[in-house]
Structure 1
Amino acid sequence: MLPALLPGCLAAPPPPPPLVTTSSTASPSAHLRTLRLPSGLAVSRRAGFGEAARAAATERGAIEEEEEEEEGFPEWGNGDEDEYDHDPEIGDIMGEYFDDPNKAQSRMEERIKKKRHKIVQAKTGSPNPMKVVFNKFDFSNSYIWFEFYHALLPKDVTLICDALRSWHIVGRLGGCNSMNMQLSQLPLDCQRPTYDALEGANTTPTSFYNIGDLEIQDNIARVWVDIGIHEPLLLDILLNALTTINSDHVGIKQVQFGGSEFQNWSEDLKTEEAGYSVHKI
């Protein structure tokens, strides 16, 4: 009875129309739609555009990376990771940073605490200013005497010898010439300093003729010098360096220029058992 009351409503729907293909060997890729980006990058898509948008974003990222390289920004992953070979622990910490920044920060702080003595070194010198005395100092033939607060350690001896050696080299090359101080005589607010090469070449040259070995007896040391000419700038440079050594590295109680005797120095003590040593400058 229902078919009579509802004619056509209960009839079976017609079958769907057959698919039309351009070729009898059509592949699944025939349903794909091809989008061509402005740069010529072809992206095969189905009905949606999400994948095309991602491809466009990827291309934009590549362009931005090229621009960063042109501007001089560092490129990640271009061999920089090789630097971690020098310190594998740093490489391990940096590898965890993107996954767990808090953990990486904690590990870095713990590492700094453990190695603080290597990173930040406390001053080992003296808080007291170094006393400077002149005793008939002759620029061409005199001793320079040093009195330290304690007997020198091997590293302290190395530091003093290096300082004296550097001082001698600069002086021997004529670097301590008070007659040619063009830049230091310019006004403090000078923005574009100039240097007269002709004036510098015509200045009377200076030199540092000779220097002896560093001799040490307990906490007393001396070095013989033959500067050759009267050049106080050489002494100023040495005293500036010794001032820093005294405050930061090795406590120097007193420096004396000139004199054949100093404190309890004995010319008869020439053995290692008596605390005597000689170090080449």
Structure 2
Amino acid sequence: MAMVRGAANGGFRIDSEEHSRNKKTMFPYSFSLFHQVTVQPPRRHRLIIVCASSDGAKGSGTTARGRRLVKIREDKRKREYERLHNYPAWAKVLENACKDDAELRALLGDSIGNPELMRKRVEQRVRQKGRDFRKSKTGSLLAFKVSFRDFNPLDSYIWFEFFGSPSDRDIDLFGSVIQSWYVMGRLGAFNSTNLQLANSSMEYNPLYDVDKGFQVMPSSFHEISDIEFQDNWGRVWVDLGTADYFAVDVLLNCLTVLSSEYIGIQQIVFGGQRIGDWEEGMTNAEYGYKYFKI
């Protein structure tokens, strides 16, 4: 269909083609429906895509949270790259050794991945163990539990539960510790009325008052029994006499290191008549009974 101006008598003509014949229609200018027809081109829309980057964060349309996430990802990639390319060889050896060594894994703990902290942990272990730093622990990595059951310092048992039945060597070592504790108590070591240097500073050359130490009231253990063992339990009867209670603190301090380094202790109970599977009067070695002579 075509629109043609300037037809005869002033107007316009619309020519249309219908298949094989041509059809012409005349309209005068006075026909208001087609008066001043304007054909506008179709509208075109422009699509703008903004790409955010960490380099052009400002003015790029990104949010502060998005920029932080981008920075975190970049820092993570940088740390991973440094770990793979700049990680010390000795630290990699330690990490691989931790897979098969529970003691080393417990020693390094959360320092794995931080070479400087790993180095400090190993150096500390060497200083503590001296020449025997390679010797593995035979104790427990867990701290033992402590409880009191109507403890009477003049007439009570102290019970010890081990992680396993102690060997003869363990019994000798454990018994020696208890025996040393008793000897010190018997000689009046646990006397809180004569702690002249406990709160003093050695920087100022403190003076010790010998007369005061000699005149204090004696404080000493009275009695202790032999240490008995049945399977993984042990007990000792004590009469602390006039010794002060901080003798118990001294004992627990000794047993803490003993349990950690040599003999694993699961719990210590002060007081009580029958604990665990203890069978009163059973002294047959064939059933797991052992003792240490104080």
**Unaligned 5+ runs, structure 1:** 1-116
Structure 1 residue 118: Cα displacement:
6.9
- List aligned pairs for 1:241-260, cutoff 5 A: 241-260=254-273
- 1:120 and 1:161 map into 2 onto residues whose CA distance is 26
Q: What's the CA shift string for 1:228-270, capped at 9, x where partnerless?
A: 1361111111111100101000000001111111111111432
Q: Are the counterparts in 1 of residues 156 and 270 from structure 2 also a CA contact under 8 Å?
A: yes
Which residue of 2 is the match for residue 202 of structure 1? 215
- Please say if 1:152 is aligned against 2:166: yes
- 1:124 and 1:170 map into 2 onto residues whose CA distance is 27
- 1:190 and 1:122 map into 2 onto residues whose CA distance is 38
- List aligned pairs for 1:12-91, cutoff 5 A: none
- 2:162 and 2:282 map into 1 onto residues whose CA distance is 18
Residues 165 and 268 of structure 1, relative CA distance in 2, 3 Å threshold: closer
Q: Which residue among 148, 159, 180 is the counterpart of 2:194?
A: 180
Q: What's the CA shift string for 1:159-207, capped at 9, x where partnerless?
A: 11100110011100011111111111214x6331221111111211101
- 2:168 and 2:243 map into 1 onto residues whose CA distance is 33
Which residue of 1 is the match for residue 147 of structure 2? 133
Structure 1 residue 121: Cα displacement:
2.1
Q: TM-score, normalised by structure 2?
A: 0.53
Q: Which residue among 199, 202, 212 is the counterpart of 2:225?
A: 212
Q: Are the counterparts in 1 of residues 191 and 243 from structure 2 also a CA contact under 8 Å?
A: no
- Please say if 1:191 is aligned against 2:191: no
When Rg is computed on C-alpha atoms for both structures, the one with the higher figure is 2
Higher RCO structure, 1 or 2 (CA under 8 Å, sep 6+): 1
Residues 230 and 192 of structure 1, relative CA distance in 2, 3 Å threshold: closer
- 1:277 and 1:258 map into 2 onto residues whose CA distance is 21
Matched residue of 2:159: which SS?
strand
Q: Are the counterparts in 2 of residues 139 and 230 from structure 1 also a CA contact under 8 Å?
A: no
Q: TM-score, normalised by structure 1?
A: 0.56
Quick check: which one's strand share is greater?
2
- Please say if 1:277 is aligned against 2:290: yes
Task: Name the Cα RMSD after superposition.
Answer: 1.9
Structure 1 residue 146: Cα displacement:
0.2
* Identity of matched residues, %: 41
Aligned length: 165
